[in-house]
Structure 1
Amino acid sequence: MNKRFAVILAAGKGTRMKSDLYKVLHPVCGKPMVQHIVDQLSKCSVEKTIAVVGHGAEMVKEQLGENIEYALQEEQLGTGHAVLQAEESLQGQEGKTVVLCGDTPLLTKETIEALIDEHEKKGAKATVLTASADDPTGYGRVIRNGDGSVEKIVEHKDASEEERLVQEINTGTYCFDNRTLFEALKYVNNDNVQGEYYLPDVIEILQKQGEVIAAYMTKDFNESMGINDRVALSRAEKAMRARINEKLMREGVTLIDPDQTYVSADAKIGKDTVIYPGTIIKGDVTIGEWCTIGPHTEIFNSTISNGTEIKQSVVHDSEVGQNVSIGPFSHLRPQTKLGNDVRVGNFVELKKMSMGNGSKASHLSYLGDAEVGEQVNVGCGSITVNYDGKKKYLTKIEDGAFIGCNSNLIAPVTVGKEAYIAAGSTITDDVPGEALAIARGRQTNKEGYVRKKK
């Protein structure tokens, strides 16, 4: 009886979102809301998770991958009907099944486990996750008996005036005895205003059968927040951001202005790092200790090592070493890898390249499809000319080379170790190590030109 299962209801299109993107795929702090649910369940020792999909099924499957199972609800006939689609995977199994909505991204592992613990402690056949709402409009109400046990759950549309005064609401998350759940679902009918099969009706059915119905109230109402439109989406984003930022600060990260700092749920940031306002950290990002990030910096799917400073810059899909200085106004595009003690200055763009320890490109340069060694100086306005209109080619700059200002390196080309490129050169051939390459027209002065022109 210790097995745990989960059913995620993710079949709705979400018409109130007014979007071509299916509701459960809308991101909250950079991650689709249904992915938040799956990630929390993965921490709860759940043996099997089934996502009930309908609208956008293929997109949902692509997002969640193969680590969970799927059941198709071809026609959306209510939450009870949706759970029935998972019967084939779970029928006859002994254990507990948690049912969650795919549009409740703020639900935490701790609350899910507390719900299961309450279910076990009370010996219940069903346990409801509830919350207290200042304004319960639109939520199903939890109606209790005089002894505090759950009598029934009634949807807002079907509730009486007296029942609508109740502030304890159904969050849409439940824990059931698995076999009891699917047996009771067969007795649910659609005799209601919407003509749908409601999962909460199972509670009333079990109550009439004399089964124990328990309830666990979450301490944080935000966890119950279901996302039905863009207004609710923005509220969830704000609540999730506050949660993430508070956790970071308690772990030793300094956020100068948490309300103006945007960090993804998957980011990892080391202690004594300082994040300035306007910084956006998205996706799978790891930032080390004693870093300074921002202001107005965007980092996406990248690794930043200890002691690095990045200000007013963009870093995407890149690896940055220790004690690196980036910005202001630098752009690291995908597949950039910087060693330690590197300097990338203002208005420098890097793409699909590596730069060894101690090298620098201080300003106004583009280095794409390049391998730059250690202790290399790339002068202002220098460019690796990597594209001929059809293909891209590699530029190699070996250790200790000096690239003079306003140089064009026409790939494929190699600049040897400790070689010098004279300012203003266009290099089309390999340069041997320790050589000086000059590739520019000789200066010609036309004496008296201006007087003759006049």
Structure 2
Amino acid sequence: MRPDEPTDSAHPTLAVVVLAGGLGTRMRSRTAKELQPLAGRPLLSYVLEVAEAIEPAQRIVVLNPAKRAVLEILPPGWQVAWQEQPLGTGHALVQALPLLAPGIHRVLLLFGDHPLLTPADLRRLLSEVEERCPAVAVLTTVLEDPAAYGRIRRQDGRVVGVVEAREDTTSYRGPVEVVSGATCYDRRWLEEALPRLERSPSGEYYHTWLVELAARTPWSAEPAITVPASPETALGVNDRLDLARAEAIVRSRVAERLMRAGVAIVDPSTTFIDATVEIEPDARIEPFTIISGQSWIGEGSRIGPHAVVRDSRIGPECEVLASVLEEAILGSRVHVGPYAHLRPGTRVADDVHIGNYAELKNARVGRETRIGHFSYIGDAELGERVNIGAGTVTCNFDGVEKHRTVIEDDAFVGSDTMLIAPVRVGPGGRTGAGSVVNRDVPPGGLVVGVPARPIAARRARRRPEVRGE
């Protein structure tokens, strides 16, 4: 089967066309509007996802050549129509027509800057189309302030057209029905109607004028209909203010989804969780916490308050208190914080404690190891049951290259120890407080001083006998 032919799908005669050709100048950004981050994902990805959820036979996105970066986020199966000049939505729709496969009967138009559409919205629109067979069906909503949205015009209850905001001089009192981000067309009618679009005073061709053309078309059924949706659906993102409003709504949806799945979010209004994050049931997210990227939180873990977690994996029954984790992996029952910083490459095994003001970078930490406080562990490998005293630093950088420190099982590193990498502390090795270790410590050995020198291990002090015991 050729890629331009419809495939097996829930809607085998439907093509989705997503318009993403506008230059988005109101965003005032070097990044294309469709690539602006929205709760951890590019804005356009939400529209593409909702389009794929209804399983159309064909998927087309219309782009301007200046926005080739958008190609990097297109899922497999999407075709691209190029709009060389940004002459409006009607003109963009014309560019997609040559790509339509022969078996396509209906065209569903979506906008790349309307990320709040849901599959339920589109399924409801398509259901009405199947039942009523119009030439044009517009998803609409009702707003107290129509703002920059096209306004539906009716006569005797019937839809007769859409007035673009910049062409409208009407003063409204009360709610206004506006265009809401999705329109479905009969393909044959659309191909005949598009050449009849006239250029607006602003120099653009509006797709919304197709509604008026449809209303004047002899049609066996009602030629133009509307299907209602929630006010959220109408929100298009044109500038930074719109982006912030959309972000708040998406994050609210994410929090609701997680809480319904069994995650405790103590205060959703002060908690920011990306749409890409996965959290297992019975995890607890405390206030003022940010969890972003490809993070995963295990069952029963407690994150926050005041934690920042990015692209990290946190195992079951962990606690991360007022700390920052970046591209780190924690095992089970790990305690971190407060005020710790786990930087990229940190891998922590089960039952580890990382306390106040500890910083780890590119470090591996074995089971039951304790890093109490005020320590820097960088480019290091710690074994099991290691004790890191307060103020310990792995001096990993010699001014030219990074070097690695290895501290093996059951070692005890005294407070304020400086470990000059590359260096190894053998199993059971010990360092005295304030030592500067620039040579390997043998298994079971004890080193002290600046620079550290080996000394014989002291015998355990015997408790003096007490008469009468």
Asked if the contact 1:22/1:55 (under 8 Å) is kept, the reply is no
Asked if the contact 2:15/2:104 (under 8 Å) is kept, the reply is no
Q: Which runs of 5+ in 1 are unaligned?
A: 444-454
Q: Which amino acid aligns with 1:97?
A: V
Once the two structures are superposed, residues 34-59 of structure 1 have per-residue CA deviations (whole angstroms, 9 ceiling, x without a partner) of 12212322323234433222275133
Map 1:30-109 onto structure 2 (within 5 A). 30-54=40-64, 56-64=66-74, 68-90=78-100, 92-109=102-119
C-alpha distance in 2 between matches for 1:63 and 1:340:
37
Residue of structure 1 in register with 2:413 after alignment = 403
Paired residue for 1:167, among 168, 176, 179?
176
Asked if the contact 1:7/1:86 (under 8 Å) is kept, the reply is yes
Residue of structure 2 in register with 1:198 after alignment = 206
Asked if the contact 2:438/2:451 (under 8 Å) is kept, the reply is no
Paired residue for 2:185, among 153, 156, 176?
176
Map 1:261-300 onto structure 2 (within 5 A). 261-300=271-310
Question: Once structures 1 and 2 are overlaid, which stretch shifts more, 120-129 or 299-308?
Answer: 120-129
Counterparts in 2 of 1:65 and 1:407: CA distance versus 1, 3 Å? farther
Give the drift of 1:283: 1.5
Once the two structures are superposed, residues 404-447 of structure 1 have per-residue CA deviations (whole angstroms, 9 ceiling, x without a partner) of 2112222222222222222222222333322223352599xxxx
Residue of structure 2 in register with 1:216 after alignment = 227
C-alpha distance in 2 between matches for 1:69 and 1:335:
38
Residue of structure 2 in register with 1:447 after alignment = none
C-alpha distance in 1 between matches for 2:55 and 2:361:
42
Once the two structures are superposed, residues 215-254 of structure 1 have per-residue CA deviations (whole angstroms, 9 ceiling, x without a partner) of 2111x20121012222222222222222222222222222
Residue of structure 1 in register with 2:236 after alignment = 226
Residue of structure 1 in register with 2:458 after alignment = none
Residue of structure 1 in register with 2:253 after alignment = 243
Q: Which amino acid aligns with 2:245?
A: R
Q: Which amino acid aligns with 2:212?
A: E
Give the drift of 1:24: 2.4
Give the drift of 1:79: 0.2
Asked if the contact 2:32/2:67 (under 8 Å) is kept, the reply is no
Q: Which amino acid aligns with 1:157?
A: R
Counterparts in 2 of 1:432 and 1:66: CA distance versus 1, 3 Å? farther
RMSD: 2.5
Q: Which runs of 5+ in 2 are unaligned?
A: 1-10, 454-469
Counterparts in 2 of 1:391 and 1:85: CA distance versus 1, 3 Å? farther
Counterparts in 2 of 1:56 and 1:366: CA distance versus 1, 3 Å? farther
Give the drift of 1:179: 4.8
Asked if the contact 2:296/2:312 (under 8 Å) is kept, the reply is yes
Map 1:1-40 onto structure 2 (within 5 A). 2-40=12-50
Give the drift of 1:317: 1.2
C-alpha distance in 2 between matches for 1:365 and 1:65:
44
- 2:313 matches 1:303: yes
Map 1:345-364 onto structure 2 (within 5 A). 345-364=355-374
Counterparts in 2 of 1:393 and 1:168: CA distance versus 1, 3 Å? same
SS at match of 2:356: strand
Residue of structure 2 in register with 1:452 after alignment = none
Give the drift of 1:163: 8.8
Identity rate of aligned residues, in percent?
Answer: 38
Give the drift of 1:349: 0.9
Residue of structure 1 in register with 2:6 after alignment = none
Give the drift of 1:8: 1.8
TM-score (norm: length of structure 1): 0.89
Residue of structure 1 in register with 2:462 after alignment = none
- 2:355 matches 1:322: no
Give the drift of 1:259: 1.1
Asked if the contact 2:144/2:174 (under 8 Å) is kept, the reply is no
Counterparts in 2 of 1:183 and 1:288: CA distance versus 1, 3 Å? farther
SS at match of 2:81: strand
When the two structures are aligned, how many residues end up with a matched partner? 440
Give the drift of 1:333: 0.9
Once the two structures are superposed, residues 282-303 of structure 1 have per-residue CA deviations (whole angstroms, 9 ceiling, x without a partner) of 1222112212111111111111
Counterparts in 2 of 1:324 and 1:442: CA distance versus 1, 3 Å? closer
Give the drift of 1:113: 2.2
SS at match of 1:139: coil
Counterparts in 2 of 1:290 and 1:143: CA distance versus 1, 3 Å? same
Give the drift of 1:331: 0.7
SS at match of 1:364: coil
Once the two structures are superposed, residues 168-204 of structure 1 have per-residue CA deviations (whole angstroms, 9 ceiling, x without a partner) of 11113112334543443222221x2222111122233
Map 1:116-135 onto structure 2 (within 5 A). 116-135=126-145
Asked if the contact 1:92/1:179 (under 8 Å) is kept, the reply is no
Once the two structures are superposed, residues 84-125 of structure 1 have per-residue CA deviations (whole angstroms, 9 ceiling, x without a partner) of 222333253414332211111111122122222222222234
C-alpha distance in 2 between matches for 1:130 and 1:394:
61
Q: Which amino acid aligns with 1:270?
A: E
Give the drift of 1:337: 1.3
Residue of structure 1 in register with 2:163 after alignment = 154
C-alpha distance in 2 between matches for 1:48 and 1:298:
41
C-alpha distance in 1 between matches for 2:452 and 2:268:
58
C-alpha distance in 2 between matches for 1:3 and 1:303:
43
Give the drift of 1:160: 6.0
Give the drift of 1:165: 7.5
C-alpha distance in 2 between matches for 1:33 and 1:442:
57
- 2:379 matches 1:369: yes
Give the drift of 1:325: 0.6
Q: Which amino acid aligns with 1:199?
A: H
Residue of structure 2 in register with 1:384 after alignment = 394
